[in-house]
Amino acid sequence: MASTIPAGFADLLERPLFAHLATVHPDGSPQSSVMWFVWEGDVIRFTHTSRRQKYRNVAHEPRVALSIVDPDDTGRYLEIRGQVISVEPDDAEASFYRSLQERYGDVYPITDADVRVVITVLPEYARGRGEGDTSSVVS
């Protein structure tokens, strides 16, 4: 599935940038949140808790979209649309959450390890824009 990502935009997935993850509330209205993530070659993984609205949103509607803006060139970005293919508990030590803390260089106290989940998204459509490329679409 790595071919879903347009050529020249993989760096936005590989760098510790922030993704704006959009989900749909059960009433159909959108919700967008800034999230830490990791790209694993064919899927994108996020962490969240089972107590928040985003969790309820993806349980109700697994279709999501995310965008990542290049902080070095804000006219360059990557949009990805896909499906949540799994929501699994993080382990008791919140190992996945801790790995994201290391990736992003931030350390927040973990007070919710018992309700942490790992959300895995399979990209189905991606579009990059910028660096002279105004419509790199791969689906």
Domain ranges of the chain: 2-127
Residue 107: pLDDT band with limits 50, 70, 90: confident
How confident is the model at residue 29, as a pLDDT? 96
Please, what sign has the CA dihedral across residues 23, 27, 28, 32?
Answer: negative
pLDDT digits (tens, 9 = 90+) for 38-58: 999 999 999 999 999 999 999
pLDDT at residue 18 tops 50: yes
How confident is the model at residue 1, as a pLDDT? 42
Distance CA 73, CA 137 (A): 19
- In this structure, are residues 64 and 121 in contact, taking their beta carbons and an 8 Å threshold? yes
How confident is the model at residue 33, as a pLDDT? 95
Strands (E), 1-139: 19-24, 30-35, 38-39, 44-49, 63-69, 77-89, 116-130, 133-138
What average pLDDT does this structure show over 92-96?
93
Q: Phi and psi (nearest 5°) for 54? A: -55, -40
- Of the candidates 106, 121, 111, 89, the residue with the CA atom closest to the CA atom of residue 19: 121
How confident is the model at residue 138, as a pLDDT? 47
Two structure tokens written together for 34? 């800034």
How confident is the model at residue 106, as a pLDDT? 86
| CATH assignment, 2-127 | 2.30.110.10
Helix residue ranges, H only, 1-139: 11-14, 53-60, 95-104
What average pLDDT does this structure show over 19-41?
96
Query: Which region among 61-65, 107-111, 134-138 has the lowest average model confidence (pLDDT)?
Result: 134-138
pLDDT at residue 94 tops 60: yes
